Each structure stands twice: as structure tokens, then as C-alpha cells.
Structure 1
Amino acid sequence: MKLATWNVNSLNVRLGHVLDWLQANPVDALCLQELKLPDEKFPHEALQAAGYHACWAGQKTYNGVAILSRTPLRDVQRNIPGYDDPQQRIIAASLTGPDGRPVRLISAYCPNGQAVGSDKYAYKLDWFQALRDWLDGEIARHPDLAILGDYNVAPTDEDVHDPAAWAGGILVSAPERQAFRDLLELGLRDTFRLFEQPPRTFSWWDYRQMGFRRNAGLRIDHILATSGLAAHCRECTVDKTPRGWEKPSDHAPVVATFGPTLTAAA
């Protein structure tokens, strides 16, 4: 089973990229973020023609999340229950894995926070706390669960191209990193860090100042999985190829492969 996440920074603009990537990389499920289109504009027919079921929570101009799956999706949940938030940042659904067991997937577009100390930063930390509280119950109900998305947090200095330049700033501040660790403390594993990885591997590069060409990036897109599911993870990689396409998203897909054989993640 292959699970992937990709902040496409406008599905309307990059639908062709998504379809091309899925044709070359027929993953079992793909979580998308930053759809930037309302529900009625979601291209479900084009995705269905490509062999994917879909559920989504759209929003005009901003935000929006979706899950694409080769098998039908059920028990769909939009947003964090009980958390009053007009921004569409969460969608969850269950699918049947290759071994017949149910797998719970969550596509998450976590707030950026804008600047440390700002109102949007306070909202980000509050949102992460609400996410943690909800996930605690979700994990108890769904032993095989993965939450994939743009977390807008680089967990360690290893995930930052220039730690000194970014020190204490947005996406790397101590409270943000603690919020990420709080999720891991629920029993989730960062699948990318289960394996030896090439140094300076990132998933986001600023459009400005030739960020991608200089590999001046951050690793802020993550696939976290419950321990039971992570025990079957065989590989997790960042596919930089689409970032080099014409008019790309500023993010690249992250892909985790799960198999029946236990690995060092156990």
C-alpha cells in the first residue's frame, strides 16, 4: 500500500500535474491540501476517470483538503469535531487496505501562523491543541491510522536548509515544534525518520530567490502513522520531480510505502 500527501497550492491550476503524477505513481491514496476551490468546483469526474474515488472539503480562494483513493471511502469526517473553525483544514475517511483491514486516513492542512506572536500564530497553536485532543480519540478507535499533510512545522534543524537564519521564526519556533512532538506522543511515528535519508531532503521551497534551484527548503510535509501501521512501513521518500515542472506547486509529494513485512520501525 502506498500513501502520499501533496500540497498542490490550487487544484484548479495543477489538476494536470496531479493527473500526470498519479499516472506515473499510481498510489493507493493521495491526500491533497490547499485546493483553493469551493466544493462545487472539485474535479471529481476527472479524478474518477483516472481511477480514484474522492472526498473533499473545499473553500474558495484559500485552504481546502481532499483524499483520493483507489477504493471507496467511507465514514467521512470534515473538520475537527467540536472545534469552531470556518477554515477547511481537515478531512478524514476510512478505506480498506490490501489485507482487508480498515485504514483511517486524515488529510491535514495545518495553519501557517504568519509570524511568531501574531494572532494567526496563536490560532495555529490553539488549532494544533484541538487536533491533538481529537486525534487521541481517533487513534483509540482506529489502530491503523495515518495523518498526512502540510503541517507547516519543520520538526528539527535537520529539516531546515539554514537553521541559523530560521532560528526562532515561524515554522521552526519552539512552541510549534512542541506541538508537533505532542502529536508524536500520542503514539504516532514520523515515517520519513524511520529510515536513513539523504541529507538536506526537503518538501517545500520558496518560489522566491531560486529556492528550489539552491535547495533552500524545509521539510514541512509529513506522514505520521500509528505504531502498528508504521511497523509495516518499508520506505518514505520525497518526490522532487513535480517541483521542477512548469508552474509547479511550491511543495513536492511525500510517499510512504507499507508492506506485510515488519521492518526496523517495529
Structure 2
Amino acid sequence: MKIATWNINGVKARIENLIEWLRDSSPDIVCLQEIKTIDEGFPRLEIEALGYHVETHGQKGFNGVAILSKTKPDETSRGLPGDPLDEQARFLEAVFSLSGNKILRVCSIYLPNGNPVDTEKYTYKLAWMERLRKFAAQRLAYEEILVLAGDYNVIPEPHDCFNAKLWETDALFLPQTRAAFRRLENLGLLDAVRATTDEVPLYTFWDYQAGAWPKNNGIRIDHLLLSPEAADKLTSTAVEKHVRAWEKPSDHVPVVGYFDL
């Protein structure tokens, strides 16, 4: 089974790229972030025509997550628990039944950026990460095949960016951010990409400015975090960076994990 995450940076603006990628890559489950549309505005028919079921948690103009899957999930839930006043559409969970009475639980995550760091945006980021940690701890207790996939807006290590010095004061790389990410991993979650390769440089995002893509000035912020049960089924990963060279690309590229399910 092929499970992918991709920050599409506006599904309506990238619909042709998304369709081409779905046809070419044929993932079984796709977690999208930054769909930037309300649920009713998602181009559902075009995706369903390719054989995918569509679940969305949208928001007008920004944020928004979706899960596309070749089989319909048994259940879905929208919004990260822990703050009933949080109206930002950043979290969607879907549950699938597998053979042998096994359960696959997949979450599409769009973690807050957090910049500027001297504002409430960074406070919100850290609080959101703590809510995610508590959620993950609760889900790990189920001992299911769990995949937390998404744009984490976290650069885990210096080798995950082209120039660590330039990112020292950025919310994506601050010590507090990376420590919060490690607390998440320390629950027993595996960074799928780093578990399967030590390749450097290896990036998933290149800014539109300053020739970042042709210079390969990127960062790795899109991650698949796996429960032990999911890690046991992981066979390989890939970063499908070729789509960054397409016309009207997202600034992110798909990150995929292959699982023997």
C-alpha cells in the first residue's frame, strides 16, 4: 500500500498537477494540506472520476486538509482534539479496516507555521504540537497501524535544511520547536523517511523566491510519523521531487511510504 502526504498549496490552483500526479503515482491514500477551500468548493468530481473517495476539512482561503483514498474509510473525524475554540482546519483523521481484523488509522496534519515567533502565532504552534502529542499518545494506546502524515512545519535536524544558520531564528527550526517534535517522536513514533535513508540533502519544500528550486535550497518539513505497528509494515519511502519542476507547482512535493499490508 502506498500512502502519501502532499501540501498542495491550493487545490483549485493545482488541480491539473494533482490529477496528473494521481494518475502517474497512483497512491492508495493521499493526505493533502493547504487545500485553501471550503468543503463545498473542493474539486470532488474530478478526483472521484479517478476512483478516489474524498474526505475534506476545509476553510475559506487558507488552511484546510483532505484525505483521498481508493477505499472509503469506515469513519472520519475533523479537528484536533484539545481546544474547542480552535476553528482552524488543520487536522483530519480516517479509519480503514484491513484484512485480519486489523485497523489502519491515517491523519492528515497541517501544523501551524508559527512565524513571527514573537507573536501569538508561535504560542499557538507550540500549543498545537502539545495537543498533537496528547492525541498521538492516546491513539498509540490502541496499538493500531497509525500514520500521522502531513506538513509539520518542523525542520528536525540541521541537515534537513540547506543552511541551518539562516533558519536559527525561524519558528520551523527554533530549539523549542524541535524539542516539541522530539517529544512527539519519543512516544514511539518513527520518522519514516529518516528510517529508510540517510541521504543528504533531502528536501520536501523549496520556496518560490530567490531561485530556491534550481539551487536546491530546500528544507524537509513534510513527514510521515509511524506507530510501531505501522513501522513494522514499512518497506520503503520516496520523495517525489520531480513534480516541483512542473508548471504552476506547489512549493512542496509528495512524500510517500510503501507498506506491506
Q: TM-score, normalised by structure 2?
A: 0.96
SS of equivalent to 1:40 = helix
What residue identity is the alignment partner of 2:62? Y
SS of equivalent to 1:77 = strand
Deviation at 1:142, TM superposition (A): 5.0
Which residue matches 1:64? 64
Which residue matches 1:175? 176
Which residue matches 1:36? 36
Distance 1:234 1:79 in 2: 30
Which residue matches 1:105? 106
Which residue matches 1:264? none
Contact 2:102 2:144 in 1 (8 A): no
Which residue matches 2:87? 86
Q: Deviation per CA, 1:185-227, whole angstroms, max 9, x where unpaired?
A: 1111000011224311100011000101111010000001101
What residue identity is the alignment partner of 2:104? V
Q: Deviation per CA, 1:31-52, whole angstroms, max 9, x where unpaired?
A: 0000000111112221111010
Q: Deviation per CA, 1:76-121, whole angstroms, max 9, x where unpaired?
A: 1100124121100000011234766220000000000012232101
Contact 1:8 1:249 in 2 (8 A): yes
- Listed as ranges, the matches of 1:1-266 within 5 Å are 1-83=1-83, 84-97=85-98, 101-259=102-260
Q: RMSD across aligned C-alpha pairs, in angstroms?
A: 1.3
Distance 2:37 2:123 in 1: 26
What residue identity is the alignment partner of 2:66? A
Give structure 2 stretches of 5+ with no counterpart. Answer: none
Distance 2:105 2:173 in 1: 28
Give structure 1 stretches of 5+ with no counterpart. Answer: 261-266
Report how many aligned residue pairs link the two structures: 260
Structure 1 pair 141–60 and aligned structure 2 pair: CA distance change class (3 A): same
SS of equivalent to 1:212 = helix
Distance 1:4 1:171 in 2: 22
SS of equivalent to 1:12 = coil
Distance 2:200 2:132 in 1: 30
Q: TM-score, normalised by structure 1?
A: 0.94
